[in-house]
Amino acid sequence: MDKTEETQTEAKEEPPSCRRKQLFPNATKREWNDWKWQIKNQIKTKKQIEKIIDLSEDEINAIDKSKFPFAISPYYATLISKTDPLCPIRITMVPTTAELTKNKGEFDDPLGEIGDSPTPNIVHRYPDRALFLTTQTCSAYCRFCTRARSVGQKTKNDWENAIQYIKNHTELRDIILSGGDPLTMSDEKIEWLLKQLQQIKHVEIVRIGTKTPAVLPMRITKDLVKMLKKYHPLWMSLHFTHPKELTPETTKACNMLADAGIPLGSQTVLLANVNDNAQTMKALMTGLLKIRVRPYYLYQCDQISGSEHLRTPVEKGVEIIKALRGHTSGYAIPHFVIDAPGGGGKIPIIPQYVVGKEGDDIILSNRDGNIFKYHDKKH
């Protein structure tokens, strides 16, 4: 295929929203679809991001002063609006000076993970499951990251001792590989971990927490999927923020994983001016179902240092869940939770549908506010 034919093919395959050819004119199709090229060419500097968006003075100051790593994969950068400072992807990726201020109730380790880490790389909070923090690297760094204290930094991994800890604790039946993002590692490293865990008899399932299908969908290769398929039962928790992420590339990545028999669930953080309305959330959740990703959690944004401008009132999450319940598929409604500060774990927050009791009857309110009586069975 000559250059002319390749360009014509790329134009046909390229989604309308993608500004790839304009922003990365020297990248060939092969390079663009190579996840290693994407990571090697991350947008990390003010000079690089200025070529993609019209930075505000506030953003310029924040990039110069922020201690939290700034990096965006070239693919994900093409989803950012050049001129709109309220672009949802831009809000989640580009620093602002608001994140430089530590506000009341905010912590560098809001979930108390350090206190629940009995050995490096392991967070053991719940009785039968543990987090295995595999890496500190991501292909794109969210400004609301719970682990902003450590991701993007060079830290020593101690996988051998972490594996030994899991072997010694026979109550652990569910291991979640997290990070950073585990899928920024090589196939060989991922397989080594999966093989070690599969050989531990009391480990029943492994989950991988990743934002890769949203920010680096070309990482989901045939070779990766073929390897993952060998280590069932394997589940994945995928991180999605906005319907804008549901591109043809992301759809292809999720379909490949689903076709390999990997159950996919989504985790979404509720963010001010990003997804804090029922319309946007419904579009995201129903869109995820179409690509075979089951909405699982909607998180109240953690109280990470410098995150106040991104957090909504808790009642906003309740309002959104109430607007979804009964107005879309039950499968499209996630659990709204607060991951309690200091290590209290996930606490579900739900609208109140039981409004009272009348004798042996439970008084219920449905999605439209209509009242119903349910005769409750006596003990």
On whether both 281 and 301 belong to a single domain, the answer is yes
The amino acid sitting at 187 is: D
The residue count of the chain comes to 379
Question: CA–CA separation, 269 vs 295, rounded Å?
Answer: 12
On whether both 260 and 342 belong to a single domain, the answer is yes
Question: CA–CA separation, 119 vs 19, rounded Å?
Answer: 44
Return the structure tokens found at 371.
């009242």
Catalytic residue list contains 145: yes
108 inside domain: no
Question: CA–CA separation, 209 vs 238, rounded Å?
Answer: 6
Catalytic residue list contains 158: no
List 75, 282, 302, 322, catalytic entry: 302
Measuring CA to CA, how many Å separate 18 from each of 79, 84, 85, 245, 255?
Answer: 6, 16, 18, 11, 20
Helix (H, G, I), strand (E, B) or coil at 38: helix
Give the residues of the chain that fall short of pLDDT 50: 1-17
List 125, 167, 189, 252, catalytic entry: 125
Alpha helix (H) residue ranges in the chain: 3-13, 20-23, 29-32, 35-40, 46-49, 57-65, 74-77, 88-93, 159-168, 187-198, 212-215, 222-228, 248-259, 278-290, 314-324
Query: Which uninterrupted H or E stretch holds 122?
Result: strand 122-126
102 inside domain: no
89 inside domain: no
Question: Residue 18 has what pLDDT?
Answer: 60
Q: What is the pLDDT of residues 136-153, one digit of tens each?
A: 999 999 999 999 888 877
On whether both 276 and 369 belong to a single domain, the answer is no
CATH number for the domain that contains residue 275: 3.20.20.70
Measuring CA to CA, how many Å separate 47 from each of 11, 27, 63, 137?
Answer: 28, 18, 10, 22
According to DSSP, residue 330 is labeled: G
On whether both 138 and 8 belong to a single domain, the answer is no
On whether both 291 and 364 belong to a single domain, the answer is no
CB atoms near residue 351 (< 10 Å): 17
On whether both 288 and 315 belong to a single domain, the answer is yes
Return the structure tokens found at 137.
């690297």
338 inside domain: yes
List 187, 231, 346, 353, catalytic entry: 346
List 18, 138, 254, 301, catalytic entry: 138
153 phi and psi angles, rounded to 5 deg: -100, 155
The amino acid sitting at 79 is: L
* Spatial CB neighbours of 172, under 8 Å, sequence gap ≥ 6: 124, 128, 129, 130, 166, 202, 203
Contact 192, 150 (CB under 8 A): no
The amino acid sitting at 114 is: I
Catalytic residue list contains 90: no
266 phi and psi angles, rounded to 5 deg: -110, 150
On whether both 29 and 152 belong to a single domain, the answer is no
On whether both 311 and 358 belong to a single domain, the answer is no
Catalytic residue list contains 126: yes
On whether both 361 and 261 belong to a single domain, the answer is no
* Spatial CB neighbours of 272, under 8 Å, sequence gap ≥ 6: 309, 310, 311, 312
Question: Residue 224 has what pLDDT?
Answer: 98
List 109, 181, 276, 339, catalytic entry: 339
105 inside domain: no
Query: Per the structure, how many domains does the chain have?
Result: 3
213 inside domain: yes
Question: Residue 379 has what pLDDT?
Answer: 66
* Spatial CB neighbours of 127, under 8 Å, sequence gap ≥ 6: 171
Catalytic residue list contains 18: no
Q: What is the pLDDT of residues 187-235, one digit of tens each?
A: 999 999 999 999 999 999 999 999 999 999 999 999 999 999 999 999 9
187 inside domain: yes
On whether both 368 and 275 belong to a single domain, the answer is no
Question: CA–CA separation, 297 vs 318, rounded Å?
Answer: 13
Question: Residue 5 has what pLDDT?
Answer: 41
Question: CA–CA separation, 161 vs 164, rounded Å?
Answer: 5
Half-sphere exposure of 150 (CA within 13 A, CB side): 19
95 inside domain: no
Question: Residue 151 has what pLDDT?
Answer: 86
Catalytic residue list contains 125: yes
On whether both 313 and 366 belong to a single domain, the answer is no
Catalytic residue list contains 129: yes
List 29, 126, 149, 296, catalytic entry: 126
Return mean pLDDT, the chain: 93
According to DSSP, residue 317 is labeled: H
List 75, 90, 143, 145, catalytic entry: 145
Catalytic residue list contains 20: no
Question: CA–CA separation, 169 vs 355, rounded Å?
Answer: 44
On whether both 194 and 172 belong to a single domain, the answer is yes
According to DSSP, residue 334 is labeled: P
The amino acid sitting at 61 is: N
List 76, 90, 109, 129, catalytic entry: 129
Contact 73, 49 (CB under 8 A): no
> What range does the domain containing 302 cover?
114-348
Measuring CA to CA, how many Å separate 169 from each of 93, 117, 231, 297?
Answer: 38, 14, 21, 27
**Which residue, among 344, 347, 378, 339, has the nearest Cα to 362 in the 3D structure?**
378
